[in-house]
């Protein structure tokens, strides 16, 4: 806070330049060290409500400008893990990667027998060996700063990143995650493809999959050429991730644009979902409490919002938590609770500035809140941040995620009630009346949500 006050004294332009210089130094640190540091930099780039915009602008380049491993090292990783060089195992193997990320890069290959086009993800050589030291250094740095500076409580980031990283470095785990996710998505009936894993050519550092065509979901020019509507794209993407949160509880927590690809089939958008290394399995009690919160946010139930936040460990800061989840001012929810209307007039730019103002004013309280919420909620914050960025790039209404999340949350609660009824086996008159009341409540809320959807898109 003292540093911010000093920056205020020297003027806005100078303050911006200081932030940009510091962000550039941080960017260079991430690029120089690679791996874990790039992953942390990408995570910070999504926290636009908490850190200055200069950091967001500079660190966002890490999504498209990740380090490349020389081909000679790629060959050695494949030789060490699969027992032969790429030219021995595949009919063809392109030396230039088509994509690179913080932990690995992807090459195009052809199957020797079928000629099928494949995508081969190869971990950056040496990352497995250096990552333990990098994570230890990160944890020690955060712990030391927490000890030296009162009020610095970023341990939640340390506690979340450290245990997840070793899972992301195990591509066998990623392959299993993708198969579980594919089963759920198929059951949900959504237009989404998860590339099939070829296990004979997959190890902890090499992951071989079907090559699936697609362009980045935020590529507006490609969307236009494909004849797709950004509204349909935004709704489909939100549906995929909210179905994971509220139905299966098995959640892909890294949906930045490079991991959410898009193509057109039968004049409809189809998502190709890749990079399944970072998943979170929500426990059932948390999933249902989170669903109650989103249902309450949608229908502007102030008591329900407060109660759900309390169950999540948040009391005084529940309004700010609601604003962070929805990217909407809490005043809007209060307005809807009083008027009974389905939507409040949107002023997206002003609303975002207002929420950023709240975040800057109550930064210490927000950090304390992040330290207090259940750990499984931290990766959901990251998921929400990524989805919000996609919505913004698509020019989608902020209510898109609200409506879709509210729909899936409401259905999750209704399905839970139905499952409990089946387990008890009660079928007397009182249970029938009880079921009818729940069905009517479910139907009423869905009508409100659908009307809210229509009004928000036509406002």
Annotated catalytic residues are 254
Contact 104, 122 (CB under 8 A): yes
Torsion sign (Cα): 54, 142, 173, 186: negative
3 state DSSP class of 35: coil
Contact 282, 245 (CB under 8 A): yes
Contact 79, 85 (CB under 8 A): yes
Q: In terms of Cα–Cα distance, which of 224, 185, 152, 106 is closest to 368?
A: 152
Residue with tokens 């304390």: 368
Query: Using CA atoms, how far apart are residues 226 and 448, in angstroms rounded to an integer?
Result: 33
Q: In terms of Cα–Cα distance, which of 422, 376, 366 is closest to 279?
A: 376
Number of continuous H segments (helices) and E segments (strands) in the chain = 20, 11
3-state helix, strand, coil in the chain (%, to 5): 65, 10, 25
Q: In terms of Cα–Cα distance, which of 375, 366, 384, 371 is closest to 326?
A: 384
3 state DSSP class of 400: helix
Q: Report the DSSP pairing between strands 192-193 and 215-216.
A: unpaired
What Rg value do the Cα atoms of the chain yield, rounded? 23
Residue 423's H or E segment, with its range, is helix 399-424
Query: Using CA atoms, how far apart are residues 182 and 195, in angstroms rounded to an integer?
Result: 9
Q: In terms of Cα–Cα distance, which of 60, 41, 51, 43 is closest to 3?
A: 51
Query: Using CA atoms, how far apart are residues 366 and 321, in angstroms rounded to an integer?
Result: 8
Angle between helices 127-148 and 155-168 (to 10 degrees): 170
- CA quadruple 384, 389, 392, 398: dihedral, nearest 10: 10
Distance of CA 152 to the CA centre of its chain: 25
Burial of 149 (0-12, 13-18, 19+ CB in 10 A): exposed
């Amino acid at each position: 806070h003292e540093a911010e006050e000093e920056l205020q004294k020297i003027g806005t332009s100078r303050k911006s330049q200081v932030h940009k210089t510091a962000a550039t130094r941080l960017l260079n640190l991430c690029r120089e060290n690679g791996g874990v540091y790039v992953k942390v930099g990408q995570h910070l780039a999504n926290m636009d409500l908490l850190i200055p915009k200069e950091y967001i602008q500079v660190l966002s380049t890490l999504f498209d400008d990740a380090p490349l491993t020389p081909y000679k090292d790629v060959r050695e990783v494949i030789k060490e893990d699969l027992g032969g060089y790429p030219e021995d195992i595949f009919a063809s193997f392109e030396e230039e990667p088509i994509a690179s990320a913080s932990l690995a890069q992807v090459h195009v290959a052809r199957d020797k027998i079928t000629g099928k086009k494949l995508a081969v993800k190869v971990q950056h050589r040496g990352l497995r060996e250096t990552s333990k030291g990098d994570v230890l250094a990160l944890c020690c740095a955060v712990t030391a700063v927490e000890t030296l500076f009162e009020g610095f409580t970023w341990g939640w980031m340390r506690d979340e990143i450290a245990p997840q990283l070793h899972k992301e470095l195990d591509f066998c785990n990623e392959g299993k995650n993708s198969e579980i996710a594919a089963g759920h998505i198929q059951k949900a009936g959504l237009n989404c493809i998860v590339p099939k894993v070829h296990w004979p050519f997959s190890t902890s550092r090499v992951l071989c999959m079907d090559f699936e065509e697609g362009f980045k979901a935020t590529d507006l020019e490609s969307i236009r050429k494909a004849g797709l509507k950004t509204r349909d794209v935004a709704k489909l993407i939100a549906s995929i991730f909210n179905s994971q949160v509220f139905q299966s509880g098995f959640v892909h927590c890294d949906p930045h644009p490079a991991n959410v690809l898009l193509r057109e089939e039968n004049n409809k958008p189809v998502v190709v979902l890749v990079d399944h290394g970072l998943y979170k399995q929500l426990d059932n009690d948390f999933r249902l409490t989170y669903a109650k919160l989103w249902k309450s946010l949608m229908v502007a139930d102030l008591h329900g919002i407060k109660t759900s936040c309390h169950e999540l460990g948040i009391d005084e800061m529940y309004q700010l938590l609601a604003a962070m989840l929805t990217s909407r001012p809490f005043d809007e929810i209060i307005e809807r609770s009083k008027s009974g209307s389905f939507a409040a007039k949107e002023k997206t730019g002003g609303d975002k500035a207002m929420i950023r103002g709240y975040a800057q004013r109550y930064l210490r309280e927000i950090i304390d809140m992040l330290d207090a919420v259940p750990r499984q909620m931290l990766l959901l914050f990251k998921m929400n941040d990524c989805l919000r960025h996609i919505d913004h790039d698509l020019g989608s209404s902020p209510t898109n995620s609200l409506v879709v999340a509210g729909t899936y949350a409401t259905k999750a609660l209704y399905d839970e009630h139905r499952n409990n009824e089946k387990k008890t086996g009660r079928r007397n008159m009182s249970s029938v009346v009880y079921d009818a009341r729940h069905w009517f409540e479910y139907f009423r809320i869905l009508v409100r949500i659908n009307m809210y959807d229509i009004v928000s898109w036509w406002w």
